[in-house]
Amino acid sequence: MKIELICTGSELLSGKVNTNAAYIGSRLSEIGLELSSITDVGDKKYDLLQEFKRAFERSNVVITTGGLGPTFDDITVETAAECLNLEIYSDKKVLKSIEEYFLKRGINSAPKNNERQSNIIKGAKVLKNCLGTAPGQMLHFKFKNGEKKCRKTLFLLPGPPREMKRIFEENIEPFLKSYSIGIKKTAVLHVFGISESAVEEMIKPIMKEAMFANSKFVEFGILASGSVIDVKFSVSGTDELIVDETINNLKLRLNNVLKDNIFGADKDTLASVVGRLLFENKKTVSFAESCTGGMLAAAITDIPGSSLYFKNSVVAYSNESKIKLLNVRERTLINFGAVSGETAKEMAEGILKLSGSDYAFSVTGIAGPDGGTKEKPIGLVYIGFTDKKETKSFRFNFNGTRDDVRERAVNTVLDLLRRNLESV
C-alpha cells in the first residue's frame, strides 16, 4: 500500500520546519507502515491541483495537512473536490459546532470567515476536531487510472500540530493499522549525562550484532534533542512473540551497557520520571533559580499533578532578591560573587527553609550572551543542593547559546534529583 503526504502552506517553502511531516512519518513507522513521499506545496491552487492529481494516480492513501483554516489562502477542501469532480456543501452540524466554539469564548456569532470551515466534500466523513474549528475529513473514492478504477482514501487534516495529531491518532492511525501487514515495534531509551558519540561507541557492538543476526528486521537510530540522547530501535517480523522478545532482549543489553545514564523509555521525560520518583517516595522539592529564570519550575509543573510533590520556587535574578527572598548573606555575594558554589548553597538552604520541602535545588550561572569574564566564562553554572542533612554544590561548564546553557542547567538539576531519588 502506497501512502503519501502533501503538506500545504507557503510558510513551509520559506523556512518553516515541517514538524507535521516528521510526526506522521514517525507514527506510521511505529505501526510498520512508511510514507512513500512527502511534498510541501504553497497555497496556490494550480500547484496543489497538480499534486493531488499525481497523488491520486500513484498512491492508495493520500494524507494532507494544512489549508483548512478560515482564510482565503486555505484552499485544500475546494481543490481536492475540484480534482475529484465532487461538490462541496456546508455541513450544518459542523457549522453548529463552530458557533458553539465561539460561544464558549463569549463570542455570540462566529466570524463570517469561519463558516467556510464547515465546507465538506460530498461523501466525506467529518473527523471531529475538539481543539479547533476546522474538522478533518475522510473520503473513500474510486479514481480512474488508465482503464481501471482503483479504490483510494483521502484524509484532510488541519495544519496546527495539536489539532492534526489528535485527529490523526483518533481516526487515521486506527484505519491504517488494519492495513499494516506484519508487526513492527519501536522502543526509545532516553539517556542523559553522556555525549551522542559516547553513546554510539558504547552500543556499537550491540547494534552490529543485532543487525547482523536479523539483517533488515532491526533498525537503530541515535538522536540528540537538546542535551537528551535518544536511542531508538525498531524490530519487525510476522511473529509478535519473537518481535517482543527481540525488543526486550535489546533493551536488556542496552541497559547493561548504558546503565543509570538511561533515565527512561518511550514517553518518559526527565520531569515525568522525577515526578514519579518524588511521588512514590512521598518527597517534595523546591527550587531557587537565577539564570534558569523559572524554566526549572516550568519544567516540573509541565506534568499534571505536580502540585503533589512540587512545593514552590523563587526566581531571584538580582543580588537584592537573593538576599531578601532567599536569605543569602551579603558577605557571601561580596566575597564569592552571585555565580559561586557558596551562593548556590545558600540559595538552596534559603528556599528549603522557606518552603519546608524535603529537597531543594538552586541554579546560578552565566547564560550569556554577555556577562562572561575570564574567571567566570559564559556557560559557568553552579547548582546547589540541600536535603536538611547535607548541603552541596556542583560546578558545570556548559557549551552553546543562552538557550542551550539554560536547557542544560534545567536537565542537569532534574537528572541530579533523579539519581539521588533512585539511590534512596
**Residue 21 in contact with its own copies, rule: CB under 8 A:** yes
CA 31/CA 263 separation, integer angstroms:
25
Stretch that binds its own copies, among 25-33, 136-144, 274-282, 413-421 (CB under 8 A): 25-33
The three cell numbers locating residue 361? 535545588
Total residues in contact with its own copies, by rule CB under 8 A: 101
Q: Residue 192: how many CB atoms within 10 A of its CB?
A: 21
User: What SS3 class is residue 61?
Assistant: strand
**Residue 223 in contact with its own copies, rule: CB under 8 A:** yes
Q: Which of 77, 258, 285, 297 binds its own copies (CB under 8 A)?
A: 297
**Residue 11 in contact with its own copies, rule: CB under 8 A:** yes
CA 26/CA 49 separation, integer angstroms:
27
Q: Residue 47: how many CB atoms within 10 A of its CB?
A: 14
256: exposed, middle or buried (C-beta count within 10 Å: 0-12, 13-18, 19+)?
A: exposed
The three cell numbers locating residue 259? 546503565
Looking at residues 48 to 77 of the shown chain, list those that interact with its own copies (rule: CB under 8 A): 51, 54, 69-73
Nearer to its own copies, 15 or 92 (CB): 15
Tell me the β-bridge partners of 249: none
CB of residue 38 to its own copies, shortest distance in Å? 4
Q: Which of 60, 315, 372, 420 binds its own copies (CB under 8 A)?
A: 315
Give me the DSSP letters along 133-153.
S--EEEEEEEEEETTEEEEEE
Q: Which of 123, 294, 337, 341 binds its own copies (CB under 8 A)?
A: 294
Stretch that binds its own copies, among 100-108, 259-267, 273-281, 380-388 (CB under 8 A): 100-108
Distance from the Cα of residue 58 to its chain's centroid = 32
Instruction: Give the per-residue contact string, 180-219, with its own copies (x = CB under 8 A; - = no).
Output: ---------------xxxx-xx-----------------x
**Residue 37 in contact with its own copies, rule: CB under 8 A:** yes
Nearer to its own copies, 123 or 293 (CB): 293
Angstrom distances, CA of residue 364 to CA of 268, 277, 299, 409 = 27, 25, 17, 9
**Residue 31 in contact with its own copies, rule: CB under 8 A:** no
Q: Which of 97, 153, 292, 340 binds its own copies (CB under 8 A)?
A: 292
The three cell numbers locating residue 2? 502506497
Looking at residues 112 to 171 of the shown chain, list those that interact with its own copies (rule: CB under 8 A): 112-114, 131, 160, 162
Nearer to its own copies, 197 or 248 (CB): 197
CA 188/CA 186 separation, integer angstroms:
7
